[in-house]
Homo-oligomer: A and B are copies of this chain.
Amino acid sequence: MERKGRVTIPTDAGYEAETKEIALKWGADAVRDCDGTKLPENAGELAEKVYETYFVTRGDVAWAKSHPEELQHFFLMSERKTARSEKLAIFPAEGYYAEQVKPDYSAESLRYWQVYDRTAGKEHKLWHVSAEEGCVYIEGAKPYHEYTVSFLAHNVWDSTQMYNYITNGWETDKHSPYDPRYPKTAEHIKAQLKSWLETHPQVNVVRFTTFLYHFFLVFNGSGKEKIVDWFGYNATVSPRALEGFEKEYGYALTAEDFIDEGYYNSPHRVPKKAFSDYMDYTMRYVAKTVKELVEIVHAYGREAMMFLGDSWIGTEPYGKYFTELGLDAVVGSVGGGVTVRMLSDMPGLRYTEGRMLPYFFPDTFYEGNESKAVAELNGNWLTARRAMMRNPIDRIGFGGYLSLAAKFPKFVERAGEVCDEFRSIYENAKGKKPHNAVKLAVLNSWGRLRSWQCYMTAHELWYQQTYSYQGLTEALSGMPAEVRFINFEDVKAGALEEVDAVLNAGDAYTAWSGGENWLDEAVQEKVRGFVARGGGFIGVGEPTACAKNGRYFQLADVLGVDEERGLSLNTDKYNVTAMGEHFIFAETPEPDYGEDKKNIYALEGAQVLKMAYSARCNRKVNVGEVKAAVNEYGEGRSFYVTGLPYTLENARLLYRALLWVTKKEEHARRAYSENPNVDCHFYEESGKYALVNNAESEQETVFYDMNGNAKKISLAPMQILWL
C-alpha cells in the first residue's frame, strides 16, 4: 500500500526540517500556511503541493481605506424600542460593535432604510435620520407599540479577522471587506490576484479563503458574537446589488426582505420568494465573478482551491451554478460524517480535502494534555471514517502550529496511522460503488441546495434545538443508503418516484419540517400516493406539522400519530399501549430520543412501539406519550420517532427503520453486522466487505454476507477488517 500522498500539513517559516520529518511520518505531500504562521520561502522543497491562503475581498488595507464608498454592507435591524408617546428616537447602531458596524447614511443607502411598527407588523413612514447623532427620529408613533429601524451599514471589519484578532488579542490592520459589485473593486480584485500569483511562484494551490462575501456574522456592543448564520446572505447586500436586482426582476427588494422580522432568513426559516430570488441572483453573480478569478489562477498554471467557510456565500456547492466556478478543489473542516459527505458529495471538482481535528493550537496542545489530543483525534476520525466508507474525500489535512503537535510523540504516531488508514480506505472505497439497501429522499424546504447542511446554524456547532435531528444526517452519512435531498417543488415534480422512502424531520414551522408547504394539496397528494403505493415514510420530531384542518401533523393519517396541543383534549385517546418487540428496535431497545417531543399520541390503527407515561396521571385510562410508532398506509409503511441524536445505536435504529418502511427487512441479513458498534459495507465492484469497528473497544459481531451467510467475527478497537 502506498504510504504517501493525500495528506496536507501546516508548516511555518523556520520550521522546515521538522516539517520534513513529520511529512515523512504521515506521508504528507502538501504543506500550507495558517492563521499566525508563514510559509517558508522554500516551501516547494517540503512537499509537492504548496497551499497558500488568499483573500479576494479583504487584506488590501490601503485599497479599503482609499475606497470607502466601495466597502461591503449588511442590512441590520435596530433593537426593538417601545414608544411611550408619539415621538420615539432610535439609535440604530446601538447594541452593535462600533468597530464593525457603521450605518451608511449616504443617499443611495438611506433609500432602503425602513422603520417598522413591529406591534402592527407594518412599515411606518414618518421618520427622519440625523447622521450626526446616529439617530432616527420617529413621529406619529403609537404608544406601546414596538418600533425598529432597518438600516444598511458598512461592515468595516471582516468578521473572521475580527473574531481571530479579538479572541487572540492580536493587533493588526483591520481588514475592511470591499465589494466587487462596485466597478473599481471589480477590476482591482483581478489585478491584485494576478500580481499576487506573480509574486508567489512557490504556491501551486491557491487556497481561497474565500471569495466575495462572508457568511452573516455580526458582533454586539461588547465585541461578542451577536448574530451568526453560516449560510446567511445578509453580508452580500449593497445599494448596487439591490438596484441590479430591481432592474433584472422588475420588483424592488426592501429592507424587510432581509430583516425578516429579525430572523434574517436563517436557514431554519421556510424561505420566502423574494429571498430565494435574491439568493439566485447573488449565486449567479458570485459564480460569474469567481469563474474569472479561477481562470486567472489557471492561466498562471496553479490550482484553485476554495475553503468551505468564511467568505463562501453565494458559491453554494449544491446550487445550480457551482460547477461553473471551475474550481479544482474544496477544502473544509471535518467534524464528523456529515461534514465529510458535505465535501465528498460535491459535484464537479477534481478533489476535496478535509481538515481534521484537533487543530494544532495551544488550547489542546499544552503540556500534559497528550492523551486528550489523541482522544480528540480518534473521536474525530471514527465519526469521519464512517462517512468515508460510503464516499471518501480525496485528501485529509491538519491545521495550526505543527511545532505544537510535534511535541506529542504519541499523537504524531497515531496521526500517522490515521493517514495510512485514510489512504487504505480511499484505495478500497473511492469510486467503488458501495452497496445501498435503500434509496432515501430527505425532504425539507431547501432540498438539494442544503445537502448535508440541514439543521446547521454556525457550521457544526451544537444547538439544543437541532441535535436531535442532526443525528439523522450524521447517521445517514455512513449508512448503506443512497441519500438525496429534495424540496417540496421536487416532490410535486415527481421526485419520490425515484426513491424507496422519504424522511421529514424537524420542529414545526422550521424549514426542515416544512411549515406551510404541507398545506399545499399537491404535496399531500404526492406523498400520500407515494406511501399508499408502497413507499416508506419516516417522520421525526414534528414532521409535516402545520396547524390546519383539524390536524397538526398534516400527514397524521400516514404517520399514525399527531400532536395534542391542548386543543383536542375532548377526544379520548385509547391507543396508549406499546406493542412490545419490533423489528426496528430489535438491536437497540433503549434508544436516545434527545430533546424528545411531548404530547404525541397515536391514532387508532397505528402501532405504538415506545411509550412513556406520566407518573402523575390518575386517570383510569393512562394516556401515554408516544415516543415511537409505526403505521401501515395502503401498501406503504411509516415510522415515527420523537428524536434521534447521533449515537451508533440510533444510527442502527434508523437503518432498521428504513429497511422496515421499505419492506426490505431481509437486508438486516445482507452485508450486515449484528452489533450496532460495527458497520458493514460491501463494495460491489471489488466484491470486498469492510467490517468497521466504530468503538474504541474490542467488539464481537455476527457478520452476514450478501447471501445471508453468517459468521462470528472479533474486531480490535477501531479496526477495519476487509474481507
Residues B566 and A268 in contact, CB atoms below 8 Å apart: yes
Number of copies of this protein chain within its complex = 2
A 253-286 contacts with B by CB, 8 A: 261-264, 266, 268-269
A618 interface residue, CB < 8 Å from B?
yes
In residues 536-588 of chain A, which contact B (Cβ within 8 Å)? 547-551, 557, 564-572, 574
A118 at interface (Cβ–Cβ under 8 A)?
yes
CA distance in complex: A82, B23 (Å): 65
Contact yes or no, A466 B262, CB < 8 A: no
Q: How large is the interface on A (under 10, 10 to 19, 20 to 34, 35 or more residues)?
A: 35 or more
Say yes or no: B224 contacts A574, CB within 8 Å: yes
Asked whether B463 lies within 8 Å of A268 as measured between CB atoms, the reply is no
Bound-state CA distance A144–B625 (Å) is 28
A274 shortest CB reach to chain B, Å: 17
The segment out of A151-159, A506-514, A661-669 that lies at the interface is A506-514
A226-234, A296-304, A709-717: which lies at the interface: A226-234
Interface string of A78-90 (1 = CB under 8 A from B): 0010101000000
A523 to B446, CA, bound (A): 37
Q: A549-B121, A572-B224 are in contact. Are A464 and B623 (CB under 8 A)?
A: yes
**Contact indicator B224/A565 (Cβ below 8 Å):** no
Pick the residue among B462, B526, B567, B599 that contacts A619 (CB under 8 A): B462
- Whether A569 touches B226, Cβ cut-off 8 Å, given contacts A121-B548, A143-B529, is no
Interface centre among A144, A266, A268, A526 (most CB of B within 10 A): A144
A465 interface hit (Cβ, 8 Å)? yes
Q: Is A720 an interface residue (CB 8 A)?
A: no
Query: What does the 1/0 interface line of A333-365 toward B look like (CB < 8 Å)?
Result: 000000000000000000000000000000000
Q: A465-B566, A565-B507 are in contact. Are A226 and B521 (CB under 8 A)?
A: no
B119 adjacent to A572 (CB under 8 Å): no
A20 CB–B CB distance under 8 Å: no
Q: Are the C-beta atoms of B569 and A227 separated by less than 8 Å?
A: no
A residues 633-649 near B (Cβ < 8 Å) are: 634, 645
Q: Enumerate chain B residues within 8 angstroms of A507, measured Cβ to Cβ.
A: 565-566
Interface residues of A (CB under 8 A from B): 80, 82, 84, 118-121, 142-146, 216, 220, 224-229, 232, 261-264, 266, 268-269, 457-458, 461-467, 506-510, 521, 524-526, 528-529, 532, 547-551, 557, 564-572, 574, 595, 598-599, 614, 616-619, 623, 625, 634, 645
Q: A228-B572, A616-B645 are in contact. List 7 more A-B contacts (CB 8 A).
A: A84-B532, A120-B521, A144-B526, A266-B570, A268-B567, A462-B618, A465-B565
| Sampled A-B contacts (14; CB under 8 Å) | A82-B532, A118-B550, A121-B549, A142-B521, A226-B572, A228-B570, A261-B550, A262-B568, A266-B567, A268-B569, A458-B570, A461-B619, A465-B566, A510-B565
